[in-house]
Chain A
């Protein structure tokens, strides 16, 4: 049920768009049915959760990393799940009315449901990695929702700010959770929590704490990371009501509740939570007093309440935690109501400016009723839920042994200011006189819109949630045992009996409550006269930690631009210099560190011929580097290539020698084609830079030579070659070990390589697809060449087939065969032109590549069909044929045919393209 609930909401998110297109203005109601049904289902679980029978889900996800889709519904998760689905259902209905005829409404619902699923997942996760994934998902969906009006630049900026702040905190949280997991030896949240305070005393546990706190504080907008929350009001009102008051910002609080059994006794925990919490409480409330926008006022009071909750969790103990849970529940109810009623006011009057609003009770009686109820709950008047929770806050703070007076005063001041703000937001717009400035002018010209009651969808939620605050306050006995007790047990770490009552008799908390009311009313009165003064608020804003965010953001962008300009200046030469110099330094250092290089010189070991060959290669290298033209360079390259083929041949590598010779031939042909269209060598670099280049390449050359010697001398790991050689005939039925490695042992590598060839062919022919105009070239001029090429073509093809067939046992194979066949066609193409050559080929080279890849793939799939891994070879029984003798047939040979076709097709595809490009007008 736990996993399905999340998947169901996610499905709602995915299909919100299509549903909106067909259901239109019923979308919100339809979608709300999902969380509403889930709310009831969660409610049914209270029975089992109460007796400690927690529903769990455990599905393997990434087993090697110990990450599972583990979920667990204990009391705390249940409380959050009820808040998320219960408030969520009304928010969806509300959004239906609020978004009206917004063209992107489907998308809005989709984001909202995505958030709902992530938030639910966060509270249900029992695996800390899973929890982190959902944690980040809430940040991302919050980003999408705050920046929903993405045409507005400031909305985008604010959304990014929220994402960066909570995202940075999320990174810290991840580190903290991993450390905590390492400390506890498990990623299971319940497993970690059950280890209790012992976990907090491990070294890793101690290091994890500040990181986890960073994550929780950024998410729950604690000072000094609070500034993103008021800015998040750029999102549409349903978002503010849901994410930024009732649910997402409480994720941090949730985490703190969760980890209280672990860290509750740690000094850092207590100090950080109490200090940051109380600062946030007072700072948020004071800033709220200086706002005009009723939505911003609500944002600041949310911040203040979050501060109070954090402070209470920091105080710890049964009483403080109980008051925090009650306060959080009350807050979820009244704050989402107040946001929605503020949204109604905004929607129906066109303004949220507290100075302009007044006397709306006539036009919007139901909204006024809901707002009034919520405001009374927020203000802490009996008999509402807010009253009870406030009583418990005072009970908790005054019951402390140390620092009781100070914290009680903090709570008192905070509550008094919250009361004043509750009146400002929940009562003032509806019950005050019509503002002075409006008198003498008609109401309609004064407000952007003439006020009237909001539609049903926008009234239902506020009225219901506000009434719920009243009902829960009137009858605390019958639900507290079912809801508060289990969640308190999870946060406290041990079962606690809870009796919540509305009336506690005449005692200190009641006195403090009365004091709060008096003080709050006083603040309200004073503020009422001075509401228009903004100077103090601006002064505070100049010193707000948000300036630090702005500063570092600007610096970051600035420095990034500088570094980019410095390193990515568009000069390839510069890039190469940086790379080579860095690589050179590292390699040089490493070589020295490893004790330098030893070069041996034994004249007896070196033949005269080899010395001459190598010396000629040195000369050719220098000649190529300083060649005056491309043709000269080609000559040098050719010499080097054929010399390397000789070296291969001398050292027992006939396959390599043959491949090298054919590739050399093809390369020279391609470069010759290109030489027609490539510009001549030109010297662009001044002499000084050229000298520097010579020095750098000289140093690089020395390092490469040293590296080669070092690599030759070192043998770090035992080679697997002898095993490959032992298996070659026995297991893979091939006597040419090199070919067996290519088509059998490492066939997957080879498959990747021929795919690369295919892609290169497509890329090359796309590059050349639009021809440049150049003078045409006459083909078929030389009769000897024409006849010779035509005669040789079939010989090359037959030869290539023979090489392909015998490759498994003797030098040859698909690579060499393909290249050989290509040479034959290239010769024909030189004589008769690429078009004629392609006609001789019957199919296009591109088709050959495709067929070749398909053949290779199918030969690999044969193994899969028999249940073995991809590319496992399969063989037919040996049989005899006349002429060929004993024949082994198996999938590696078919694979080699695929290689043959791809190499053949690739060579011709690029060669024909280059040739045609050099001579676009091919003539007969």
Chain B
């Protein structure tokens, strides 16, 4: 399963980078969305994937029994998903403003402050 997911991560990464390299702003945003998906999956997989139970302590037990999925990467990814969403929302707002100011959606035209 790990090999399969690794291939998926690679494909998502490749698709994301291809989109990021486009000059159209809208495609660039799609690239950002893809990248955060790929990275979340990468973190999830790098900690080892267990087809086990959720890391919830059962009934009257006080500690987690063995065979449960690792809770730590899950906590990291949970915030990463929400932050990724925040990043995407901000990029959307920023790009709309930028397109309006620059008067173009070609990223090659976004070079006024750099020169």
Contact = CB atoms under 8 A, between A and B. Distances in A.
B110 to A, nearest CB: 7
A809 B11 CA distance: 36
Contact of A724 (B2, B7, B15, B71): B71
A619 to B, nearest CB: 9
A330 interface: no
B96 A730 contact: no
A684 B106 contact: yes
Interface string B75-115: 10111011111111110111111011000011110111011
Interface in A562-581: 568-573, 576-577, 580
Contacts of B10: 701-706, 708
A376 to B, nearest CB: 62
Given A701-B11, A910-B90, A725 B79 contact: no
A712 B4 CA distance: 12
A704 B82 contact: no
Interface stretch (A210-218, A432-440, A654-662, A873-881): A654-662
A679 B4 CA distance: 36
Interface stretch (A113-121, A262-270, A690-698): A690-698
Given A667-B85, A678-B96, A705-B7, A760 B52 contact: no
Interface in A589-644: 599-601, 605-606, 610-611, 614, 617-618, 621-622, 624-625, 627, 630, 633, 637, 640-641, 644
B82 A729 contact: no
Interface in B1-19: 1-19
A479 interface: no
A685 B38 CA distance: 25
Contact of A678 (B26, B38, B49, B85): B26
Interface string A666-687: 1100110010011111111100
Contact of A671 (B11, B52, B92, B111): B92
Contact of B90 (A656, A704, A764, A811): A764
Interface string B42-82: 10111111111111111001111000111110110111011
B97 A756 contact: no
A730 B83 CA distance: 30
B6 to A, nearest CB: 4
Contact of A685 (B8, B22, B75, B93): B22
Contact of B3 (A667, A709, A721): A709
B111 to A, nearest CB: 3
A618 B41 CA distance: 14
A480 interface: no
- Interface SS majority for chain A: helix
B41 A737 contact: no
Contact of B17 (A701, A711, A810, A914): A701
A interface, size bucket: 35 or more
B54 to A, nearest CB: 5
Contacts of A767: 90, 93-94, 96-97
Contacts of A654: 54
Given A684-B24, A737-B71, A651 B9 contact: no
Contacts, number: 330
A599 B17 contact: no
B111 A570 contact: yes
A5 B6 CA distance: 67
Interface stretch (A19-27, A541-549, A738-746): A738-746
Contacts of A719: 47, 70, 72
Given A753-B82, A914-B89, A630 B34 contact: no
A682 B61 CA distance: 58
B114 A569 contact: yes
Contacts of B56: 735-737, 809-811
Nearest to B22: A685
B83 A681 contact: no
B2 A712 contact: yes
A533 to B, nearest CB: 50
A610 B96 contact: no
A599 B6 CA distance: 9
A797 interface: no
A696 B85 CA distance: 27
Given A624-B15, A701-B14, A737-B64, A725 B55 contact: yes
Contacts of A728: 57, 63-64, 71
Interface string A830-865: 000000000000000000000000000000000000
Contacts of B81: 656, 659-660, 663
- Name the residue among B46, B62, B64, B79 with the largest chain A CB count within 10 angstroms: B79
Contacts of A694: 18
22 contacts: A570-B112, A571-B107, A572-B28, A610-B1, A610-B4, A618-B7, A624-B15, A651-B69, A655-B74, A656-B44, A663-B85, A678-B29, A679-B24, A693-B18, A698-B14, A700-B14, A701-B13, A708-B10, A737-B57, A760-B87, A767-B97, A768-B96
Given A682-B105, A697-B15, 18 more contacts: A625-B18, A633-B30, A647-B44, A653-B69, A654-B54, A663-B85, A667-B33, A685-B22, A705-B7, A707-B42, A720-B72, A725-B71, A726-B63, A728-B57, A730-B62, A764-B94, A767-B97, A809-B56
Interface of B: 1-30, 33-34, 37-38, 40-42, 44-58, 61-64, 68-72, 74-75, 77-79, 81-90, 92-97, 99-100, 105-108, 110-112, 114-115
Q: Across chains A and B, which 3 residue pairs bring their CB atoms closest together, nearest first?
A: A701-B14, A570-B111, A705-B10
Interface of A: 568-573, 576-577, 580, 599-601, 605-606, 610-611, 614, 617-618, 621-622, 624-625, 627, 630, 633, 637, 640-641, 644, 647-648, 650-656, 659-660, 663, 666-667, 670-671, 674, 677-685, 693-694, 696-698, 700-709, 711-712, 719-722, 724-726, 728-730, 735-738, 741-742, 746, 749-750, 753, 756-757, 760-761, 763-765, 767-768, 772, 809-811, 815, 819, 903, 906-907, 910-911, 913-914, 917
